[in-house]
Amino acid sequence: MKPITLSDLARRYGYFLDFLDRSGLLDRRGAAAGHVTPENVAGYLDELQMRVSSVTVYGSIFKLRRASELLDPQGEFTWLTEIEKDLALVMRPRSKADRFVLSEVLVENGLALMAETEHSTTRSDLAKARQFRNGLMVAMLALHPIRLKNFASLEIGRNFVNIEGRWWIILGAGETKEKRPDERCLDDMLVPSLEKYLSTNRDVLAQKRDSNALWLSSADGQPMTYSAVADAIKKTTLTAIGVGVSSHMFRTAAASSAAVHAGHNPNLASALLHHRDRRVTEEHYNRASSLSAAMALKAVLQEYVEDKR
């Protein structure tokens, strides 16, 4: 099991223990997974259903079971599986429509955030470096929608390298979910921004620490964690665009933009997302077809309004 998966399971199990602690039910000397009883889970489930979406409720119970099985391999947790099945029947994923943004909007706003730092005279160098980094992350992930675990772990000289004056993202088969190499040349549009980040802003963030990580924390100069990168991206897009776009939605944006602007090339989205099967991107293509119609309607309405002026 990958470290990031173990970390997620530990965090979800911690939420359960926190509920028990707040409810006065936590025995700190209890056996591993000994608190996972039908009575305790029923109370936890009631709280979850009042606070979070049905999808999160399902995921929390599923991960509670997985964590319990790891903590107590001999334990009997099939009853949790039955609860999972019931939750799956009523699960209603939240629509992505309220978070749907095309890649060009993300790129434009990322570039704008970086440009703003050049004209600021009141902010500290560290604050400007942080904003520049965030803008670069948004623009770069929009143009090169690799998975967040790979994006967050980019290291200069290892999987982010300069070859004959061109910057490349080079992921080995062991680093990708598809177990296939993935190589992407950094878009020329971003090269000036990247070079400024590497020569100026990254040094400010590093605070004299030595690291090859591309993305450094403004708090201590250490490499940013997966969660820190995800949080920075979502908060940055919320501030810049008004919509908190998750890292996964960048991939949705890329597939949809490909369908809007290059619908004649249905393989483009699969290539962008590094998918082997075109069917995986059909959902994005269908959504984008509807979006194209909406964009056309908007153009007609704008022309109509202007004619009336």
pLDDT in tens, 4-51: 778 888 888 999 999 999 999 999 888 889 999 999 999 999 999 888
What the block records as the tokens of 156 is 């200069």
Residue 92 has pLDDT above 80, yes or no: no
Chain length of the chain = 309
Q: Is residue 256 assigned to a domain? A: no
CA-closest candidate to residue 101, choices 93, 92, 110: 110
Low-confidence winner among 20-24, 123-127, 238-242 (lowest mean pLDDT): 238-242
Q: Domain boundary at 30, 62, 90, which?
A: 90
Nearest-Å Rg of the Cα atoms of the chain is: 23
Residues 272 and 258: beta-carbon distance below 8 Å: yes
Beta bridge partners of 61: none
Residue 260 belongs to a domain? no
Structural domain total, the chain: 2
Both tokens of 182, joined, read 């993935």
> Which residue reads 């965030």 in tokens?
134
Model pLDDT, residue 256:
67
Pair 85, 111: CB distance under 8 Å: no
**274 located within any domain:** no
Answering whether pTM is above 0.85, one says: no
Cα angle, residue 166 at apex, residues 209 and 229 outer, rounded to 5°? 45
| Nearest residue to 272 via CA among 262, 138, 108 | 262
Q: Which of 249, 289, 285 minimizes the C-alpha distance to 266?
A: 285
Candidate from 118-122, 165-169, 298-302 with smallest mean pLDDT = 298-302
Do 15 and 132 fall into the same domain? no
Domain that residue 224 falls in: 103-247
Most confident of 18-22, 108-112, 131-135: 131-135
146 and 241 together in one domain: yes
Are 137 and 215 members of one domain?
yes
184 beta partners? 169
Instruction: Please check whether residue 279 lies inside any domain of the structure.
Output: no
Residue with tokens 């996972």: 36
pLDDT digits (tens, 9 = 90+) for 171-218: 998 988 878 788 888 988 899 999 999 999 999 999 988 999 999 999
Shared domain for 115 and 220, answered yes or no, is yes
Arithmetic mean of pLDDT, 224-253: 89
Going by C-alpha positions, the residue among 176, 179, 156 that lies closest to residue 168 is 156
**Residue keyed to tokens 């967040």:** 148
pLDDT at residue 140 is higher than 80: yes
**Residue indicated by tokens 């001999």:** 74
Q: Which residues sit opposite 216 in a β-bridge?
A: 223
Mean pLDDT score of the chain, rounded to an integer?
80
Instruction: Tell whether 76 and 114 lie within a shared domain.
Output: no
pLDDT of residue 269: 39
**pLDDT attached to residue 64:** 94
Q: Is residue 297 part of a domain?
A: no
In this structure, the answer to whether residues 72 and 197 fall within a common structural domain is: no
